[in-house]
Structure 1
Amino acid sequence: MRLLHCLLLAVCLLSPSLHPQAAEAQGDDLPLFVVPALATPPISRDSDGDGLPDLWELRGYTENGTFVNLPALGASPWHKDLFIWMDYMVKDGTSLAPSQTVIDNIKAVFANAPVNNPDGRTGITIHPVLKNQVSYQESLGVKDDDASVWQAFDALKNASFDAAYARSFRYMIWANAYAQDSSSGLARNIPSTDFIVSLGTFTPAGGTDWVRLGTFIHELGHCLSLRHGGADDTNYKPNYLSVMNYTFQMTGLFRNGQYGESGHPLYFDYQRMNTPVLNENSLTESLGLTGAGDVSTYGTTFWYYSGGTCQAQAVANANGAIDWNRNGAIESGVSYGLHCDEDEPADEKTTLTAQNNWANIDYSANGLLGPALSTARRLQRLQEPMPEELRHELNWETYQKLRSAMIAPVP
């Protein structure tokens, strides 16, 4: 059946009656074809499930008179694609844009994704396209005013971004800062198509290549429907092995005895397996993080309160017993808090669940991409209030606390 499908799509592609600009965004003005109707993929067909119709990925599409040539940009109807339009600022002569190394590492992380495709190969082809320098702003928006952030963002976007690409591209800016804060980045919503990486106040300005890599993947993750705690917003979970977890956003995961920032870009990963639920009121220390997916190459970090502040304990091997309460004995029925967050009440114990991130990606941003959503509905969606969990993204001060609190992993 896969071979037949490919042959039929090939007939569609080669037919002389098909002009590239015939594939309109809504698919309502398609001409009559010489080939049988079955050979012409309907605008609703999306074989690889990436939110982009097969017809667009084979022929491109036209929106408001502009032809968007997705196949020339590398799109395939049989392998998932993500397109990102990236603009950037320049601060005091220093570009805040990513280096080619960062761009290549972003591509490598997504190519390594454990997701299936009709072509039989795993992975996602991400297209982070570096486009235009935009006007430098010390801060997008002002403190405690979400609307001002996105008004400033939209002004730059509207001056640079061709709206014809809005049905197929996410849009982001490598900016200096937003809301007069040192936050590392921000997504517009969960899910969404707009996000910011704002590392201009970091040292060095723009962040290291590793910090840029982790922050880009983290903020894009929100656009793909991923959260700080997996399916919820509880942060710092030791069973959440993902760059969506602040613990690992800028260092990468701990695998095979090393953090991603030690030279392993593929460790800047979303969680790719299930991990067990951790009930902080009754922990079985002999299990560690075993009992669900394979964590044999992973370490983790848990956070606890001590003296009124958050302290970290890194663990080299998540696949064996973990002395969660740090008393030198491996016990059952242990009550101990493992996800310290100074923005939350001290020592509140709860049940920590995680998520296989790659299995839960929303490729269409809840319909913001693709042919279905009207322009009016898209504008309405973009004006929805920003979720509370995005109001306190990882900033420079918290990043410094995380780094100073972390210690060498114990066996």
Structure 2
Amino acid sequence: MKKLLLLTASAAILNGCIYGTVQDANTGSAVYQAKVSVINGNCSGNGCGFPEGTDTSGMYVFDAYGDRNGSANTKFITPSSGQEAVTFRVSKPGYQSRTFYHKPDYQKITYSGKTYYVSDAPVIYLCPLGSLDSDGDSICNAAETRYGTNPYDSDTDDDRLSDAAEIFGYNGVDIRYYGADPLRKTVLVEADYYQAFKPDQAALDQVIQAFADAPVTNPDGSTGITLAIDLDSQIAAADVDSNLSPVWTDFDVIKNQYFPSRRSKLFHYALFADRHSGGTSSGISRGIPAHDFVVSLGGWPTPGGTMQQQAGTLMHEFGHNLGLRHGGNENTNRKLNYLSIMSYDYQMPGLRVDGATGVVDYSRLKVNAISGNISEFSAMSGYGGTTESDLADYQVRRNGSWLSGTASANLDVNNNGTLQSSVFVGNINASQNDWDNISFGGGGTGGTIGDPHLGASSMMLYSLTSQMATPEFMVEPCMTPEDM
């Protein structure tokens, strides 16, 4: 993902320009004299009274410097008050018009001794009137071929964000700004926080990197998931509720004030708060799967949590939003054969993998069931592609203690210093690879991720699937300091 140069409000006087190109979806050639209009946004400059037009190369520029279109046609475009992106419309007779949302991400360039700030809008492939759109996502088949997306699937990368939303934005929100790509899975989170409990950026980065390293394949040939966490608003002191109780009633008072409804089909919503329900639970998800979650480490020995505890809890609670339970596909907690941040054994200290400690990750392994006894010499075994070599990378934690050996061999499960051929550990079901079972659609009472460009049939299918969550798992507070 390209780095964004985020300008402060005082830097707005730098007068950045916005540019882009318009091409014919069928031929790929430049569209000359297409009209690019600002439908919603602020314009300052001498040429604000009329739209821009494309030149013979298909390019248009909202030129704030006067270098391209002359000083009589300067335009500096910014989002309108209360909005986060500018709304543009591209039109030309004989073509379907296209609306897109653009949040300027100004990049600094130097040209001929001058410094400019420029922001590139997405390439627009205009579809001739009558063009076929097989998947009904508002992008004609010919344009989908140009973008590399599937003309018969409105969500090429299966992340519950439509191809149209990832290219053009949706409902006034430009998710391309946050790294959304129709050929790579993307998950978006808005995180708001109380002043005393603002998360450490290093904790957020650790979780972002965990998703980037996920063993998940994408249509563009890459692996991993783009997780964008928009650390957005500090909750005003007057709005801070030190004990969210009833948790979702009080949560909604804050959410309704700070989380824009225009984001509701695109972003999960997280609140870094003090406590909830009168206790010291580290957090709670609004359901499994779900749209909303709380990180509430105010009552922990380090109020707000250490960096490691913040990262582990964020990954854990968000995992519930993504459909994961404390045992992966079941709610049995602290399963010996389940090596995941979703287990209380690993939520706070993280995993130990291949010599690294404090690893925040969901399970990457498929581990066989254990029937009563286990041989400490041979430890656990994998299935479905999980090998002994994979298991050998992991150390195991049980009852608050790290065990000698690995998940593959010489595992001292009763921690008595002696390896035994048979130790009773109880009946434990097989454990899943969590990354293979992520649910991208949110769900529960907090809302559902998925914009209307996915199509009615796709939305209905997810709605039916999300109802399969057993009611007893719909609201689940997580660990307390006593659970460590």
Q: CA deviation at 1:351?
A: 2.6
Retained in 2: the 8 A contact 1:110–1:126? yes
- The 5-angstrom pairing of residues 95-174 of structure 1 reads 96-134=197-235, 135-141=239-245, 148-174=246-272
1:270 to 338, 346, 362: 362
1:76 to 181, 184, 201: 181
Q: Structure 1 residues 13, 168: CA separation in 2 closer, same or farther (over 3 Å shift)?
A: farther
The question of 1:235 aligning with 2:333 is answered yes
Match of 1:248 in 2: 346
Deviations 1:317-340 (A, max 9, x none): 2221334456734325x4x23xxx
Deviations 1:284-328 (A, max 9, x none): 43321234311121110234xxxxxxx745234222133445673
Q: CA deviation at 1:252?
A: 0.6
Match of 1:407 in 2: none
Q: CA deviation at 1:57?
A: 0.3
* AA of the residue aligned to 1:185: G
Q: CA deviation at 1:119?
A: 1.0
Match of 2:411 in 1: 322
Count of residues in correspondence between the two structures: 341
Q: Structure 1 residues 216, 386: CA separation in 2 closer, same or farther (over 3 Å shift)?
A: farther
* AA of the residue aligned to 2:346: F
The question of 1:48 aligning with 2:157 is answered yes
For residues 155 and 223 of structure 1, what CA distance do their matches in structure 2 show? 20
For residues 158 and 392 of structure 1, what CA distance do their matches in structure 2 show? 22
Q: RMSD in angstroms over aligned alpha carbons?
A: 3.2
Larger helix percent: 1
- The 5-angstrom pairing of residues 10-409 of structure 1 reads 16-17=90-91, 18-21=97-100, 33-34=128-129, 36-37=131-132, 38-40=141-143, 45-62=154-171, 67-90=172-195, 94=196, 96-134=197-235, 135-141=239-245, 148-260=246-358, 267-279=359-371, 281-292=372-383, 293=386, 294-303=390-399, 312=401, 314-325=403-414, 328-332=418-422, 334=423, 336-337=424-425, 349-366=426-443, 368-371=448-451, 387-388=472-473, 390-399=475-484
Retained in 2: the 8 A contact 1:140–1:153? yes
Q: CA deviation at 1:12?
A: 12
Retained in 1: the 8 A contact 2:188–2:267? yes
Q: Which runs of 5 or more residues in structure 2 are unaligned?
A: 1-23, 35-89, 92-96, 103-125, 133-140, 145-150
Q: Which runs of 5 or more residues in structure 1 are unaligned?
A: 1-6, 24-30, 142-147, 261-266, 304-310, 338-348, 400-411
Q: CA deviation at 1:199?
A: 0.7
For residues 35 and 286 of structure 1, what CA distance do their matches in structure 2 show? 69
Retained in 2: the 8 A contact 1:188–1:386? no
Q: Secondary structure at the match of 2:314?
A: helix
Range with bigger deviation, 126-135 or 216-225: 126-135
* AA of the residue aligned to 1:39: A
TM-score, normalised relative to structure 1: 0.75
TM-score, normalised relative to structure 2: 0.64
* Structure whose CA Rg is larger: 2
Retained in 2: the 8 A contact 1:12–1:35? no
Higher relative contact order (CA 8 A, sep 6+): 1
Q: Secondary structure at the match of 1:234?
A: coil
* AA of the residue aligned to 2:342: M
The sequence identity of aligned pairs, in percent, is 32
Deviations 1:107-136 (A, max 9, x none): 111101000001111000000001112222
Larger strand percent: 2
Q: Secondary structure at the match of 1:369?
A: coil
